[in-house]
Amino acid sequence: MPKVLISGRGGCGKSTIVSLLARKLKNNGNRILVVDCDESNFGLNKILGIEKPKKTLMNNLGGKLAVRDKLLEIVQKDENHLNIFDVMSLDDLSNDYVTWDDNLGFLEIGKIEHSMEGCACPMGALSRDFLNHLTINENEWILVDTEAGIEHFGRGVLEGADFIIAIVDPSEDAILLANKAYKLSFENNKNFGVILNKIDDNLEEILKSKLDSNIAILGIINYSSDIAMLNLQGNSVESVSIGVLDDIITCIN
């Protein structure tokens, strides 16, 4: 089963679609871990409908300074990347930094907690190392919610992923990002596709015409005022049913 990295511009619907896919996969009898790699997003657990873990993964390892010190050691030794974890499975993950709702798990890599604390590079390095060492079995999925833009490509977070999805909403910026993400994924021999989100009949063909012709469109999700209201109220989307999700899952798997 795949590790799937979800990317896109801010506000395109990454967290919502991660949550919809996670709930659908769970209902289909799979075991899923949602990994929150966005250091600036604080509400994914609410959309997902699950409690926050006791700690972020970074805080469980001693905090940002501890991980930063590890990175400095790597630079001094002229090594390529962080190597904190051993090979591990979902069963090896501690309840200190993962919460579970039956077969749905949730983990946060790390968050910006204080002003002037510095860049988010330690979170990116930790995400990369964690995903590279996490193994999954039959009927297990990893869904990775990333920060806005493509910085996670530069940080190498995609290295441990099997499939990259870009969420494209009706904006020129989303199209430009998706086309760039496709090229970066191709460079790394990663499977890639897009989900068109918040779409109506007038927009679908325009978006398709602007995307690179080699990009696979995995599915189309129409704009939903019900989902918008759930997000505004800080409620979970677990009750939402969208038929195209099964087709998207089939394309990825």
DSSP H or E run through 249: helix 244-252
Whether the pLDDT of residue 1 is over 90: the answer is no
**pLDDT tens, position by position, 27-72:** 999 999 999 999 888 899 999 999 999 999 999 988 888 878 777 7
SS3 state at 166:
strand
* Percent of the chain surpassing pLDDT 90: 70
Name the residue ranges covered by the structural domains of the chain: 3-111+118-140+148-252
- Starting at the edge strand that comes first in sequence, how are the strands of the sheet with 104-108 ordered? 99-101, 104-108, 31-36, 140-145, 3-8, 163-168, 191-199, 216-222
Read off the pLDDT band of 123 (50, 70, 90).
confident
**pLDDT tens, position by position, 87-115:** 999 999 999 999 999 999 999 998 888 88
Q: How confident is the model at residue 85, as a pLDDT? A: 86
**pLDDT tens, position by position, 155-168:** 889 999 999 999 99
* Cα(211)–Cα(243) distance, integer angstroms: 24
Are 151 and 159 spatial neighbours (Cβ–Cβ below 8 Å)? no
Mean pLDDT of the chain: 91
Q: State residue 181 phi and psi, 5-degree precision.
A: -60, -35
Read off the pLDDT band of 204 (50, 70, 90).
very high
CATH superfamily of 3-111+118-140+148-252: P-loop containing nucleotide triphosphate hydrolases (3.40.50.300)
Alpha helices by DSSP H, listed for 28-171, are 44-48, 57-60, 64-76, 121-133, 151-154
Question: Which residues lie across from 167 on neighbouring strands?
Answer: 8, 195
Read off the pLDDT band of 80 (50, 70, 90).
low
